[in-house]
Structure 1
């Protein structure tokens, strides 16, 4: 059965999301559709029901990127910690009506403090951190809250233009109440001067859409002499949803 009683289908606002074809963001030129969109009917029962993650087994450090990829002390003689500014990333997952979404899977991935991903195709000259894997996951609690501990990712260059840089960001995937509400987005950091210079961000027509992807410094949740905290709430489905990253 669906885990959410609010079943009303809300059509996506195409003026809120970026156009599929945005030449300033060069990869959209090749991947944007060249035919009209297919009209969607109301979601089916299978799209509204589940999956149910409430019994998913989580590891003790799945949401702690400071601990979940440390070098094996048996091999190195010591267990190191990742290099970089320690941060907490947290927030609530809610639906379009403000109702919390409990027991939903929140996944995240990011570059290390030098701006490099642990990926075979990442050729940026910044070094890999042997104690940082860059991925984590958790389940939201009964009130929709989620939390990660990690390091602040670094910006990195990419070949869109002669001197294009991605702002520091963390990618996020959240399933929401059902598979039809899955959201893939990213969190930028409040005050980053690279945000308005990014060709990807620049595809958004509405500044408020950028605000939905901006994590806000929260000193009340920060830990003294340890790490700063950034709040990033996720709204799935509907008029107020956080901007979808994967709408190319």
Structure 2
């Protein structure tokens, strides 16, 4: 049996400061006192858990999972795929991956979203999948549109899709989001600009993958998720990784 490789150190300089003035809501949300470390308990690490039967075959197809029979979501059809990996590029199988997003007009199906873009009756904006034995996941969806948000007089979020990655239990959850290659709004977004490292921002960009595209049907984008180490994906809710 080979010896375990040492863990790669995390680059904590990647993470944005809690109080980032250009990202307006951080002014009120940033902690004013030092953080207190609370060690995880046995219940945090062990449960509750989920089973494979909780995932339905159509859950990963956002084009149809909310649509009326025979209908499909409106917008540019894309395949969003990738792998969940550890720091040594080993696959993480049977990982629950969930996504949620705005529609092709830039509007979420949420009661508090009052953007002028119309809702799509055939698009719910969320899906989930389990990674296979190679750590791979795949979603069929539409390319979300940018949308305005009340951060400043003319603030727009780049097109993006939110990700939630679970470990072996629901308490083990990491949250991030991916942008799309070539989007000119990324460099103007106060949320993305809060990240001090250009390399960390680059880790949040899904790459155009013409090899996986379906001719005359949909383009493909690849977004790999690395759980820890210097090559880790930047997660919004847990700086230390999974």
Compute the TM-score of the two structures, normalised by the length of structure 2.
Answer: 0.89
8 Å Cα contact 1:53/1:103 also seen in 2: no
8 Å Cα contact 1:108/1:172 also seen in 2: yes
1:104-183 → structure 2 map (5 Å cutoff): 104-176=95-167, 182-183=173-174
Query: What are the Cα deviations for residues 199-243 of structure 1, in whole angstroms up to 9, with x where unaligned?
Result: 100101000111111000000000001000000001113332211
Select the residue among 44, 58, 62 that pairs with 1:61: 58
8 Å Cα contact 2:63/2:73 also seen in 1: yes
8 Å Cα contact 2:65/2:124 also seen in 1: yes
Report the more deviating stretch, 184-193 or 9-18. 9-18
Report the more deviating stretch, 145-154 or 59-68. 59-68
Counterpart Cα distance in 1 of 2:228 and 2:46: 14
Counterpart Cα distance in 2 of 1:143 and 1:232: 15
SS in 2 for 1:15: helix
Q: Which runs of 5+ in 2 are unaligned?
A: none
Query: What are the Cα deviations for residues 22-41 of structure 1, in whole angstroms up to 9, with x where unaligned?
Result: 01001111111111122465
Deviation at 1:181, TM superposition (A): 5.4
SS in 2 for 1:220: helix
Counterpart Cα distance in 2 of 1:139 and 1:238: 23
1:159-238 → structure 2 map (5 Å cutoff): 159-176=150-167, 182-238=173-229
Counterpart Cα distance in 2 of 1:174 and 1:53: 13
2:18 corresponds to 1:27: no
Call closer, same or farther: CA 1:54–1:93 in 2, change over 3 Å.
Answer: farther
SS in 1 for 2:190: coil
Deviation at 1:54, TM superposition (A): 5.1
Deviation at 1:83, TM superposition (A): 1.0
SS in 1 for 2:35: coil
Q: Which runs of 5+ in 1 are unaligned?
A: 1-5, 74-78
The number of residue pairs the alignment matches comes to 237
Match of 1:16 in 2: 14
8 Å Cα contact 1:66/1:132 also seen in 2: yes
Counterpart Cα distance in 2 of 1:164 and 1:141: 39
